[in-house]
Amino acid sequence: MKNQNAKLLALAVVTSTAFIACNPLSKMVKRQNEVNFTLTPNPVEMHADSISIALNGSFPTKYFNKKVSAVITPVIKYGAGEEAFAPLKLKGEVSEEEGTVINFEKGGTFSHTAKIPYKDGMDVATVELRVDGKYKTQTKSLDPRKVADGTIITPKLVMSAEKAIAAKDNFQKFNLVDNKVVINYLVNNATVRGSEMSDKDVKALVTNLKAWSKNPKMEVNGVVVDAYASPEGEISKNDNLANERAASADKAMAGEFKKAKLTIAEGSKLNGRGEDWDGFKNLMTASDIKDKELIIRVLETYSDLTKREAEIKNLAATYTEVAKKVLPELRRSEVNVVMKHHNLTDDEIKTLVDSKIDSLDAEQMLYAATLYTDDAKKESIYKSFSNKFAQDWRGANNLGYLYVAQNKIADAKAQFEKADGLSANNPIVKNNLGVCERLNGNVDAAMELYKSAAGAGSEVNENMGIIYIMKGDYASAKSSYSGVNSFNAALANLLSGNNSIGGIIDGSTDKDEALAYYLKAIAGARANDKNALVNNLKTATSKDANLKAKAKNDAEFIKFREDAEFQSAVN
């Protein structure tokens, strides 16, 4: 009996040994180093809060047994955890399992893409491949193969630099007011008659001149005289006549300025306009002259001025009526006294803000808020504006703008919603509501609001650029920041493949920030420019020592980790 048991045990050992020797999985394990794996990107990268990979590989000839199947699982290991990507299934030519077929005799290639959500801590990570083979009921695993080290998370550097937009005031430091009078002349004459200086329009201007002389808010900005001749007679004589009329009108008005003790700082501008054919046509069109259509046709037919006049005079009866009703009104000088009406000064406005703010008009009150840096004062002015001008959306909008700067997002949103109710579809308000949604984490809602804010200003595109970076759409982000110099603009360019970002940052208000130098260090690493990397990293870490620890683990610098100069910058 003992001999029989010994024989059975020996037979079992021999059979088991023979099976193992014939098991193709064992052969595959022995030759596992002949299998090629390539993972891209390497290091892996985070985009839009996800990590996407592309795995490519090949098996050598006579490696993948026809009856074997295999599962390749990429796994990212970070901290104390790990996360598996979707696996790739492969099989031999006669295997009944699912998967991509690999030829035994010729070998074969494979490719696989997968994505997982990015989780905090995955920046310091490795990616390994785990391959599990199956033959009949037997399973065997190849040794884990590390294929990537670290995760690039540079898109997470995007600054929360959303820009709300304040409504502008229409306050003017001064207003220019035209005051026009007309002085008419007799035919072929440039003398200003006393009766013309007694006309209603001239007398009203003279009265105003006297009043303005006593008003410190009023100042003569300039006098413009445009003088004309009626289109009759020699053109050259009429040109001279128009110049003489301009001079005589200016002289007559100068006397009135002298009486009112007003001066014209830069003198008068005199324009002799010659024959007034345009005025002639306008008066003819508005007249009740019987043959006016015929005369207008002559004007349109003949460009030669002398020929025009001759053809019109040929219409003898009609010309007599024209000479009586139309031509006298063309013999004139038009005098425009441009007055500069000064608004309240900044000091005067500030005094009224403190003593009688309700006496300010809407534009003065909105402008007043720009004269202060104190947020409490601005808030008080905007509230006064909203109380007095309750239907003007700008008060609520600017209160919201102030609250965004103070990070009071709930208060800001309430004010913007009030402004939206007062001015529906206002692009400035839509942008500002979008800022609130983004800061509240509602990215898609923010983008829709930004899209409806077209025309509000360049701030809208910059706000959209932040979301494009967050969503991994770097081409759109770069386009949104076209012509803009800022940290985020530089980041958008870098993520789009442009490593030459120095000018974008150096031309921005962010240029002295520690992160600005850190981003330039990343650009240097990507361009394989060690000097740019090291110099900018040293400046960054000198401004913010916390960046040393970040740089040590940042996969952007993985190629330089053992470099002595890099080590010096981060230690």
Give the residue, 252 or 301, on which the prediction is more confident.
252
Q: Are the C-beta atoms of residues 160 and 114 closer than 8 Å to each other?
A: no
For 491-508, the pLDDT digits (tens) are: 999 999 999 999 999 999
* CA–CA distance, 523 with 534 (Å, rounded to integer): 11
**pLDDT of 269 over the 70 cut:** yes
Cis omega (within 30 of 0) for bond into 117: no
For 100-139, the pLDDT digits (tens) are: 999 999 999 999 999 999 999 999 999 999 999 999 999 9
* CA–CA distance, 263 with 267 (Å, rounded to integer): 8
Position 8 scores a pLDDT of: 35
- Fold designation for 24-152: Immunoglobulin-like (2.60.40)
What mean pLDDT is predicted for residues 161-188?
96
Give the residue, 18 or 73, on which the prediction is more confident.
73
The residue type at 408 = K
Longest Cα separation, the chain: 156
Percent of the chain past pLDDT 90, that is, above it, reads 87
**pLDDT of 484 over the 90 cut:** yes
Mean pLDDT across the chain, nearest whole number?
A: 93
Rg of the Cα atoms in the chain: 43
Q: Are the C-beta atoms of residues 524 and 532 closer than 8 Å to each other?
A: yes
Position 77 scores a pLDDT of: 97
**pLDDT of 3 over the 90 cut:** no
What mean pLDDT is predicted for residues 93-100?
95
Split at pLDDT 50, 70, 90, the class of 414 is: very high
Number of Cβ atoms within 10 Å of the Cβ of 328:
14
Q: At 340, which helix (H) or strand (E)?
A: strand 332-342
**DSSP letter assigned to residue 107:** B
Tokens standing for residue 560: 């330089």
Q: Which CATH architecture has domain 174-342?
A: 2-Layer Sandwich (3.30)
What is the pTM (predicted TM-score) of this model?
Answer: 0.80
**pLDDT of 313 over the 90 cut:** no
Among 109, 111, 128, CA closest to 44: 128
Among 243, 231, 236, CA closest to 276: 231
- Residue 477, judged by CB atoms within 10 A of its CB (0-12, 13-18, 19+), counts as buried
The residue type at 548 = K
For 518-562, the pLDDT digits (tens) are: 999 999 999 999 999 999 999 999 999 999 999 999 999 999 999
Among 179, 174, 172, CA closest to 260: 179
Position 20 scores a pLDDT of: 42
Position 265 scores a pLDDT of: 65
CA angle 8, 11, 15 (to 5 degrees): 140
Could you tell me which residues come within 8 angstroms of residue 140 by beta carbon, excluding any fewer than 6 positions away? 23, 25, 26, 28, 29, 132, 133
Q: Are the C-beta atoms of residues 166 and 401 closer than 8 Å to each other?
A: yes
Q: Are the C-beta atoms of residues 445 and 436 closer than 8 Å to each other?
A: no
What mean pLDDT is predicted for residues 87-108?
96
The DSSP secondary structure of 183-216, one letter per residue, reads EE--TT--PPPHHHHTSHHHHHHHHHHHHHTT-T
**pLDDT of 9 over the 70 cut:** no
Number of Cβ atoms within 10 Å of the Cβ of 495:
22
Split at pLDDT 50, 70, 90, the class of 294 is: confident
The residue type at 269 = K
The residue type at 538 = K
Split at pLDDT 50, 70, 90, the class of 242 is: very high
* CA–CA distance, 433 with 431 (Å, rounded to integer): 5
